[in-house]
Structure 1
């Protein structure tokens, strides 16, 4: 009997030793696997981890995508590190050279893949929405257009108008793949209102513009010049004309009015356009138009609420992106003669005379 017990004891010790040896070998194997880097393709590998994905399914998903080499060892590593509850769903970009341990670390960080798009200053809403739809977010253009004119959505986002025009702030935006049309437009409106609050904090004494009027004037300033240093002075001209009851007579509003009236955008203005009555035509209608004609940036908003001190009532393009400013009609007419009549007359002469 004693011999039997002794034999069983010896077998138990041997089995335990064997198990211990197997366990140590397995641990070394897992550790070696977790520390062995994998060089991924130059473009990287994008993997979408759905909500509710368990460690075993995740390990297979990553192995099938080529991010790791062994799904079983990755699963065992996740279990050993008790990392399962920390792993987050989302779209991930794996690039460069990564060890499985680094892969798990990335999944635990929640640093999902992001997408960017940039909206330049001074574009109209009809130009901006296709930029969003054409981005890698793949937003639905029709839905964007519907939201841009949806009174309820506009009211909820804080737009004080019947259109989103003017409130799609020009900037570079970053979103994850699952961003919705509502979320993107809401973020852009929030940015515009944030910049308005900054500009409003520096509002000049005596400037009585409402929020909508500020965006409206800022959009006109934005369209009138691409020169940052000119914006406060152009704003001053418009403030002076508003104060004296003089029509703004700014060409960008005519272009916008004709777009609304005819459904076609054209930069070429005719005399008939100037004389066509429309709420947005500041040659026929006094004061500011009903709303913005484009989407202004921060500098234009600041200029609208903090114009330069000046006596100017007119400005004329030098045809190089800058302007001549005048306080009187006599000065203005002289500037028009020089920079519009004579300038283009000389241009025509040079074209017809040809090279010497």
Structure 2
């Protein structure tokens, strides 16, 4: 009997030793596997992890996609690290050279794939919406256009106008694949209102512009100059004219008015255009137009509410992106003669002379 018990004891010891050896070998394999880098294709590998995906199924997905080499070892690693409950659903982009441990960490952190688009400053809503529809988000253009003038959506988003014109903040945006048109447009409006609040915190004493008036003036400042240092001074000119009851007479509003009238955008302004009655034509209508004519950036919003102190009532383009500023009509007329009449006369003369040679 003692011999039988001793034999059983020996067998148990051997079994435990064998199991321990197997466990240690498995742990070593899992550890080595988790630290072994895998080089992915140059454009990376995109993987969609649906809601409710379990660790075993996920491990197979990753192996089938070539992101890891062994689904069983990956599953064992996830179990060992107790990472299963932390793994998040979503669309992931795996790039470069990654170890399985780094792959699991990316899934646990929820670092999903993002789709980006950039909206430059000074664009009109009709120019911005196609950027969104052409982006990798592939938003439906008709839906975007409908929302751009949908009163319910505008009210919910906090836009104090009948259109999104001027309230789609120029910036670079990142969204996940499932972003809707409503979500994207709402985010862009939120960014505009966020920058307005920052500008409002710097508002100069005596500036009484409402939120809508601020965006309207800022959009005109944005369209009048691409020079950041000029924006506060151009804003000063418009504030002075508004205060003295002088029409703003700014060309970008005429261009915008003609676009609304004709449905075609053109930068060429005729004398007839200047004389055409329209709420957005600041040559015929006093004060600010009814709303923005483009989307202003942060600097233009700040300039609208915090203009430079100046006596200027006019500015004239030097034809190089900068302007001459004038406090009097005589100064303005002299600048027009030099930088508009004589400048272009000399330019035409030089072109004729070079063509004759």
TM-score using structure 2 length: 0.95
Structure 2 match to 1:316: 316
1:173 alignment partner, SS class:
strand
Give runs of aligned pairs for residues 150-165 of structure 1, distance below 5 A: 150-165=150-165
For 1:34 and 1:322, how far apart are their aligned partners in 2?
A: 60
Structure 2 match to 1:85: 85
1:354 alignment partner, SS class:
helix
Cα drift, residue 310 of structure 1: 1.6
Cα drift, residue 3 of structure 1: 4.8
Structure 1 match to 2:225: 225
Give runs of aligned pairs for residues 263-342 of structure 1, distance below 5 A: 263-342=263-342
2:132 alignment partner, SS class:
helix
Cα drift, residue 305 of structure 1: 0.8
Structure 2 match to 1:351: 351
Give runs of aligned pairs for residues 23-102 of structure 1, distance below 5 A: 23-102=23-102
Cα drift, residue 11 of structure 1: 3.5
For 2:250 and 2:112, how far apart are their aligned partners in 1?
A: 47
For 1:9 and 1:204, how far apart are their aligned partners in 2?
A: 91
Cα drift, residue 330 of structure 1: 1.9
Structure 1 match to 2:129: 129
Once the two structures are overlaid, the 10-residue window that deviates more, 224-233 or 36-45, is 36-45
For 2:299 and 2:6, how far apart are their aligned partners in 1?
A: 90
Cα drift, residue 159 of structure 1: 0.6
TM-score using structure 1 length: 0.96
For 1:329 and 1:210, how far apart are their aligned partners in 2?
A: 30
CA RMSD of aligned residues (A): 1.5
Give runs of aligned pairs for residues 131-210 of structure 1, distance below 5 A: 131-210=131-210
Show structure 1 runs of 5+ residues with no match: none
For 2:35 and 2:246, how far apart are their aligned partners in 1?
A: 75
Cα drift, residue 123 of structure 1: 0.7
For 1:121 and 1:245, how far apart are their aligned partners in 2?
A: 29
Cα drift, residue 20 of structure 1: 2.8
For 2:81 and 2:240, how far apart are their aligned partners in 1?
A: 70
Once the two structures are overlaid, the 10-residue window that deviates more, 10-19 or 255-264, is 10-19
Cα drift, residue 80 of structure 1: 1.6
Aligned length: 356
